[in-house]
Amino acid sequence: MAISRRIGFINIISGLVATAALTLPLATSGAQAAEPKKGGSVSITLESDLPSLDPLSFASYNDRNAGLLMYDTLLDIDEKGNIIPNIAKIDAAKDATSFKLTLRDGVKFTDGTPYDAAAVVKNFERIRDPKNRCRCISDLSTIDTIEATGPLEVTIKMKSPSAHFPATLADVPGMIVSPTAAAKYGADFGTHGIGAGPFKLKEWQRGAQVVFERNADYWRKPQPYLDEVVLRPMPDEQTRYASLKAGNLDIVTNAAARDRVDAAQGKKFQISNPGSLATSFIQINMKSPDVSDPRVRLALALALDRPTLNKALNRGLYKIANTPFGTGLFPHEAVDGYPGYDPAKAKKLIEEYGKPVKVKLSINASPQNAINGQAIQQMWKKIGVETEIVPLEQVQLVRAAAARDYQVMLYRWAGGADPDKNVHQFFHSKGTMNRPNYSNPEMDKLLDAGRATTDKAERLKIYRQVNNLLAKDLPYLFLWYFDNVALVNPQVKGLKPIPDGLLRMQTVWKDK
Amino acid sequence: MGRRLRIQILTLVAIVFAATALTFAVTEILPGDAAVAILGETATEADIKSLREELGLERPLVVRYADWLGNALTGDLGRSYRTRESISTMIAQRLPVTIELIILTQIIALGLAVPAGIIAAYRNRSGIDHALGGLSIGLLSTPAFVIGIGLIYTLSVALGWFPASGYVRPSDGILDNLHSMFLPALTLALAEFPVYMRLLRADMIATLQQDFILVARAKGLGVRSILVGHALRPSSLSLVTVIGINLGRLVGGAVIIETLFAIPGIGQMLVNAVYQHDHFAIQGVVLVVATGFVLINLAVDVAYALLDPRVRHGVDN
Amino acid sequence: MASITDTSPITVAPPRKRKKLEIGLSLAIAWLAAVIGLAVLAPYVGIQNPDEGDLLNILSLPTAEHWLGTDSLGRDTLARAVYGAQVSLIVALGSVTIGLAFGGALGLTAGYFGRLSDRLIMGVMTVLLCFPGIILAIALVSSLGPSVGNVTFAIGVIFIPAFARIARANTLSLRNREFVLASQALGARTPRILIREILPNLMPALLSYAVVMLGVAILAEAALGFLGLSVRPPQPSWGGMVAAERGNLADAPHAVFIPAAVMFLTVLAINVLGEATRRLFDIRAQSL
């Protein structure tokens, strides 16, 4: 069902080829069934309008999609989630304490200034300046020094081992802005946004659409193929799919399960399923009443009949999760036993606990989350646990999580391209987002060890232990891996399913 | 007249400022805060606190209001916390969209309601009167978003006559613009139609029983000329009042329809601002909505005078 | 929140005497009686638990076990519609009572005393009218939590100015009527005049408006449900049901249409009743 299979798009810039061939023009496609056609415009949904085009404020899926259009990234990930060279390649010291970036020669920002080592260094200075409040600042907390060691070479030294660092450069911190433009526009840079991506801003009609036009000087010739990419904010989920059906839209991102089923039945649209990097889960505040007891947490986990939940809530489309690592990360499902469905045992544990258990489940106030919350409530009721649902607006929900002002919370994390990004900041006792109030010295040791080597096999062993420990301590009750599924107009070709779910529009073309 | 007008205008100004003060106070009780909205998911407690200080949110409410008011009086409505756009620019972009939506809505609603009201009054208690009565009571009993979803699925998805969502600026083609605005305007108009039709019908029935209509009829004037030429104007007083109220209400009230059809109007800006705790944006919108409401009410008073000679000559009824 | 502040329908007074409407009225009363009866008696007449569902039997069509089918969580639609009636009716009655009581009292005061109190009260009412109700609703419901009481309060507050306007307008015309002047001449105290003379004559207009607003309140609750600002799940409300299930329009239309139809019929019945009330009061007014 994935587009990749139908179109037969094979990405050959991975593994060996990638590290060797930076100076050669990179092949853009292998065995492509049809030759890409030039021209045309593709429109894509946004859940809400972009707040800004400045990577400093990027966080949401929407922001990052726009960022890829305008800035591209230093590094990228492939269909399997491997880090691959893009505008730069990276070499890591074996102990992951220093990295060397080598930039592609001749890349220019759309204002004509060079994309060189000096520009990259300036960008990192900009991001790391606390005054700029980059949302991504915590990703870069382990950096010690960044230096231009050549016109196209940047050397980064770390305070502590940081094997996760390259993945960071495939995301927001890897979106390099033109330092000249940033200085020129100052605080207003967010309304202009100058980068070296496949597209550049043509016009932004706030609330209605953001129009990007082709960057004719994009470094990877002959891409991009499209003349125009239009992002359209559409707050209502039902309207998004209706607009696709009515032919007013080309791509609906993050499609609802029922729309996927409908699209599959109608056979009118392509369904692009790139897999996932992370999970939906129930986050537990381990210092709050009742759920601080491991028996209660285990009982809550055992009471969840996740296959049934998935069938009822997601039309059975998602994959049940037992680890925090999505399909695009190597420790995906590397776990030796996670509590399955066992209501009898759950009941017994609650009886053993001896007190009546009441939980407050905080959720985002959207209709789908309300339904999910109620389904969980019903399952917990069966083992004698009363649940009160607390619907909160997203801003309030984040606030409650940050302040650890909750007992249990239905939550979702978009995930990073390195396993570390899904666990270290959440489960390390000193993690900046340790929202479960979790503290286990063994976990701290494992998480630090996971950063200290670039050897994949060794890291896999470490993260398997992390998964096993999570299954025992249960700061999260895992639900399922959510796929960033897009429903796509059949005329749109060449979309690569990358597990972060973001759209690389440079390879896309329209068959009219 | 001059003094009365001055008092009226002063009252209106006072009302607008009271509305903004009330908004400031209400915004204060919203849980969560602007700092969290800006910092997003990765926010830590320390970040939130320092940003709140930077934004001046730790100052007392009254100080912040006075600060805002002072700037507003000099024409500076501030900048959005979230997008850093100037609030005046944001409003300038969105207000015309909402105004267009309102005007189209009124044109469609009146275009349907005036003929329907006249026919229903003229054919009082006939089959067509009952049918229109039933239709209007049915429309009154359906939530606007249900009407909207119904229209999207029929006229847009099934028939493909209109786009299901989105907004095209008039500068990109006036026809495309009208095409994109038709469904949302129709949805709102169908909610207004029953009210207008019933008002006009009732007033028209009363008018048709008056002497001057009988005289006109005796003179042998055609039905159409009597209805449209003679009876319509004196029958539109209540209609004009209600149109006035509705116009004002719609400025801030088309939220759901704007959300459903993804129309970038002032209603959507308001809801987003409330959810994002974008205080200055909320204040700016309320300022505009309140001013619009008050001005429209003033205009209704004037329209009244034009329509009804008794008011014009200062006769109190 | 389309028509919350809509003050219009009361001004219509078509003089109609028809048998057909009598049938309509009987049907309306029968429907309302059935809805209220079921809502009150729900726990005693074998209605299923509205909060418990079978996740293996979601969005099922009507069957012998589930007469009106089930929703996205396999809960009985009939049960939820019946229990939803409790919420919708409490919200409707509560918010209209708030609007009637506060708006009526304020309008009466403003209209009777005139001058400064009139200017002040009506000024405050205009402030409320031009203050977007949606902000108030979001602020109240999200800060105090989604509950029947808070939803009722939010809608009720939005209703106040309209009731105040009507009460004021009618008081203005009553203030100079003979019976009021006579009572004043006889030395009656102001509260007595207000309560014994003016209020009873004010009630027809206020009550017939109140009936119409009951329907508007039900729709307003639905609009808040659309924005995710209605009662706390799993408690059902009609608006919440339509809003939660509206995505299933294509594959399970009954889950959306049944609560929508129940809401539609109830508001329709209320509107028919409102029309009848108005006629009743008009006739009485004419015979005075």
Give the model's confidence band at A421: pLDDT under 50 very low, under 70 low, under 90 confident, else very high: very high
User: How large is the average pLDDT for residues C267-282?
Assistant: 80
A195-252 pLDDT, tens per residue? 999 999 999 998 889 999 999 999 999 999 999 999 999 888 888 999 999 999 999 9
Flag if B39 and A235 touch (Cβ within 8 Å).
no
CA distances from A489 to A44, A241, A486 (A): 10, 11, 10
Res C93: pLDDT: 94
How high is the pLDDT of residue B244?
Answer: 74
Q: Which amino acid is at A181?
A: A
Let me know the angle formed at the C-alpha of B303 by B298 and B307, rounded to the nearest 5 degrees.
155
Query: What average pLDDT does this structure show over A162-175?
Result: 95
Q: Cβ B84–A52 below 8 Å, yes or no?
A: yes
What three-state secondary structure class fits A83?
A: strand
pLDDT band at A274 (very low <50, low <70, confident <90, very high): very high
CB contact under 8 A, A246 and B157: yes
Point out the least confidently predicted range of A406-410, B114-118, B235-239.
Answer: B235-239
pLDDT at res. A6? 34
CB atoms within 10 A of CB A379: 21
- Among A67-81, C40-54, C146-160, C231-245, top mean pLDDT goes to A67-81
Beta-carbon contacts below 8 Å between A and B:
135
CA–CA dist C84, C90 (Å, integer): 10
Q: In this model, does residue C1 exceed pLDDT 60?
A: no
Phi, psi of A11, deg, nearest 5: -90, 115
Looking at per-residue pLDDT, the higher value among A409 and C186 belongs to: A409
More confident residue, C146 or A179: A179
**Tell me, what's the pLDDT at B312?**
47
Which chains pack against C, by 3+ Cβ pairs within 8 A? A, B
| Sole residue written with tokens 């059935």 | C34
- H helices of B209-278, where? 211-218, 223-224, 237-253, 255-261, 266-276
- Percent of chain A at pLDDT > 90 equals 73
CB contact at 8 A, B34 and B279: yes
Report field, pTM of the whole predicted structure over 0.80: yes
CA distance B285 to B263: 16
Question: Per residue in A223-232, pLDDT tens?
Answer: 999 999 999 9
For residue C248, the distance in angstroms to the closest alpha carbon of chain B comes to 12
pLDDT value, residue B270: 87
Contacts of B94 in chain A (CB under 8 A): 206-207
Going by pLDDT thresholds of 50, 70 and 90, the confidence category of residue A305 is very high
Q: What percent of chain B is predicted at pLDDT more than 70?
A: 93
Residue C175 near residue B62 (C-beta atoms within 8 A): no
pLDDT at position A28: 37
Mutate to test the interface with B, among C5, C6, C7, C8 (most CBs of B within 10 A): C8
CB contact under 8 A, C263 and B143: yes
Over residues A147-164, mean pLDDT: 96
A92's CB contacts (< 8 A; 6+ apart) are A98, A99, A163, A165, A166, A454
pLDDT higher than threshold 50 for residue C287: no
What span, in angstroms and rounded, lies between the C-alpha atoms of C219 and C271?
12
Q: How far apart are CA B274 and CA B30, in angstroms?
A: 8
Q: Which chain A residues are closer than 8 Å to B39 by Cβ?
A: 133, 135
Identify any residues that bridge with A492 across adjacent strands, giving them in sequence order: A510
Residue of B nearest to C214 (CA): B141
Q: What is the pLDDT of residues A436-493, one digit of tens each?
A: 999 999 999 999 999 999 999 999 999 999 999 999 999 999 999 988 899 999 999 9
pLDDT at A1 over 50: no
Q: Which chains touch A (3 or more CB pairs under 8 A)?
A: B, C
In this prediction, residue A266 has a pLDDT band, given cuts at 50, 70 and 90, of confident
Considering CB atoms only, which of A258, A381, A393 is closest to C247? A258
The HSE-up count of residue A458 (CA atoms within 13 Å, CB side) is: 12
Give the number of other CB atoms < 10 A from CB of residue A141.
12
Strands in A88-92's sheet, in edge-to-edge order, are A88-92, A98-103, A153-158, A143-150
pLDDT on residue B125:
78
How many CB atoms lie under 10 A from the CB of residue C51? 18
Neighbours of A486 (CB within 10 A): 26
CB pair distance less than 8 Å for A256 and C247: yes
Q: Which of A470-484, B142-156, B201-215, B300-314 has the lowest mean pLDDT?
A: B300-314
pLDDT at A23: 32
The reply to whether residue B164 touches residue A60, judged by beta carbons under 8 angstroms, is no
pLDDT(A27) > 60? no
Per-residue confidence band for A33, with pLDDT thresholds at 50, 70 and 90:
low
> Token pair 């320092």 is at which residue?
B50
Q: CB–CB of B42 and A433 under 8 A? A: yes
* Alpha carbons C173 and B199: distance in angstroms, whole number: 21
pLDDT exceeds 60 at position A55:
yes
Predicted confidence (pLDDT) at residue C11 exceeds the cutoff of 50: no
Distance CA A280, CA A355 (A): 29
- CB contacts, 8 Å: C1 with chain B: 253, 255-256
Question: What does the pLDDT read at residue B138?
Answer: 84
In chain A, what residues touch B260 (CB-CB under 8 Å)?
Answer: 236, 239
**Mean pLDDT, all residues of chain C:** 83
- Taking CB atoms and an 8 Å limit, are B145 and C7 in contact across chains? no
Tell me how far apart the alpha carbons of residues A402 and B46 are, in angstroms, rounded to a whole number. Answer: 10
Residue B17 in this model has a pLDDT that exceeds 60: yes
Closest Cβ–Cβ partner in B125, B137, B256 for C271: B137
Q: A432 and B160 in contact by Cβ < 8 A?
A: no
pLDDT of residue A31: 41
Confidence of residue C18 (pLDDT cuts 50, 70, 90): low
Q: How confident is the model at residue B1 (pLDDT cuts 50, 70, 90)?
A: low
Segment B240-277, tens digit of pLDDT: 777 877 776 676 557 888 888 989 998 888 888 888 88
Give the count of beta carbons closer than 10 Å to the beta carbon of residue A94: 9
pLDDT tens-digit series, residues C86-119: 999 999 999 999 999 999 999 999 999 988 899 8
pLDDT of residue B32: 66
Taking contacts as CB-CB distances below 8 angstroms, the residues of chain A near C142 are: 392-393, 396
Contacts of B101 in chain C (CB under 8 A): none
| Contact assignment for B242 to C7 by CB distance below 8 Å | yes
